[in-house]
Amino acid sequence: MAALEFTRRYAMAHRLLATQSPKCAIPHGHNEFVTVRLDPITTFKFTDTNSAAPFELAKKRWHQWIDDHVDHALHLGESDPLIGYFRENEPALLKQIMTFQGDPTTEALAACFFLKLSAFIADDKLPFTVREVRIEETPTNTVIITRETFDPATNGLRPSAWPHRADMSINDF
Ligand SMILES: [Zn+2]
């Protein structure tokens, strides 16, 4: 089978408190594109269909999660006091808050995407592995996480965190 790549767009907002960048401490937003690359676990062979049928399956679940849960989410570190504000005043909006262990940087988001897509693929028993996640944060700034630069097994994220779960979650509330 051949490698596959697909791209989706979403809007998001975040703020960075631990990062030494005063400009990023105020909530602000980006329109981002995420491109994922999947590698097949078997080599391409000529068959009747000559296509990787599970491709549509992998794409469908991923894009459903991006469209229904990631799009228009507010990304916050787990210790951000804004979470307390929403809990007390607007609990109905908690489902639109994506939480991060540490600052919600684009690097952390790419790592979370890598884990979530890997969880979906494992859950559907699809014959692919995630090779690369690329987030275009702005037209001039792209963050790339690859299997060479990221080890899904030893990444420092606690095992119970939402990126490891093959469900539609974006937080652990
Ligand atoms: Zn930003």
Nearest to 107 by CA among 173, 153, 155: 155
**Cα dihedral 14/17/22/27 (nearest 10):** 20
Residue 135 Cα, ligand 1 centroid: separation in angstroms?
12
CA of 130 to the centre of ligand 1 (A): 25
Q: Tell me the CA–centroid distance for residue 116 and ligand 1, in Å.
A: 21
Q: Which helix (DSSP H) or strand (DSSP E) does residue 115 occupy? A: helix 106-123
Distance from residue 137's CA to the centre of ligand 1 (Å): 8
pLDDT number for residue 85: 98
- Structure token digits, residue 100: 């991060």
CA separation for the pair 161, 171 (Å, rounded): 8
Q: Could you tell me the distance, in angstroms and rounded to a whole number, from the CA of residue 62 to the centre of ligand 1?
A: 23
| Alpha carbon of 107 to ligand 1 centroid (Å) | 11
∠ Cα 58 9 55 (to 5°): 15
Residue ranges covered by each domain of the chain: 4-164
Output the CA 12–ligand 1 centroid distance in Å: 9
172, β-bridge pairs: none
Contact yes or no for 137/105 (Cβ under 8 A)? no
Tell me what pLDDT residue 153 has.
85
Among 84, 143, 108, 141, residue whose Cα is nearest residue 16: 108
CATH 3.30.479.10 is the classification of domain 4-164:
yes
Q: How far is the CA of 39 from the centre of ligand 1 (A)?
A: 30
Who's near 132: CB < 8 A, 6+ residues apart?
Answer: 35, 36, 37, 144, 145, 146, 147
Distance 125 CA to ligand 1 centre (A): 35
Residue 154, pLDDT score: 87
Q: CA 132 to CA 51: how far, in whole Å?
A: 21
- Kindly give the confidence (pLDDT) of every residue in the chain, 173 residues in length, as a single tens digit, with 9 standing for 90 and above: 788 899 999 999 999 998 777 889 999 999 999 999 999 888 888 888 777 657 788 899 999 999 999 999 999 999 999 999 999 999 999 999 999 999 999 999 999 999 999 999 999 999 899 999 999 999 999 999 999 989 888 889 999 999 999 999 999 99
